[in-house]
Amino acid sequence: MAKLEKTVRGNFDEILRRIEDGIMAGSISASLEDASDFAEGGARCSVRVFERYSYIGGNRVSLNVTLFQAPDGAIRLSGITAGGSQAMFFKINTFGEEAFLEKLEELL
């Protein structure tokens, strides 16, 4: 598992659109598995779950992206990957997870 957390600046909808479009365009095997959006009391939260095939790892990896905007306007992002390991009891070969997360970081 690899994780990226940061505060981003800009328009919430534009950032979300840039992430969705960029992840989908970044790999022919990428798919948007599901999405969820919430808004209440001036706060917003959007969750996206992407999946793609990792040629390096020979398996599928997922990327979960959460954007949260507090009432003060600050936008926080969390990106977490999973599924790239081939071992049963410990993680080996996490190249696919790291590459997926690097793509998200490029889009920011």
Torsion angles phi and psi, residue 62, rounded to 5: -115, 155
pLDDT at 103: 81
pLDDT at 78: 97
Q: Residue 74: left if φ>0, alpha if ψ -120 to 50, beta else—which one?
A: beta
Along the 108 residues of the chain, how does pLDDT read in single tens digits?
689 999 999 999 999 999 999 999 988 889 999 999 999 999 999 999 999 887 666 678 899 999 999 999 999 999 999 876 665 555 555 566 777 777 888 888
Architecture of the domain defined by 3-107? 2-Layer Sandwich (3.30)
DSSP string covering 39-75, please? EETTEEEEEEEEEEEETTTTEEEEEEEEEEE-TTS-E
pLDDT at 91: 55
Domain-by-domain residue ranges, the chain?
A: 3-107
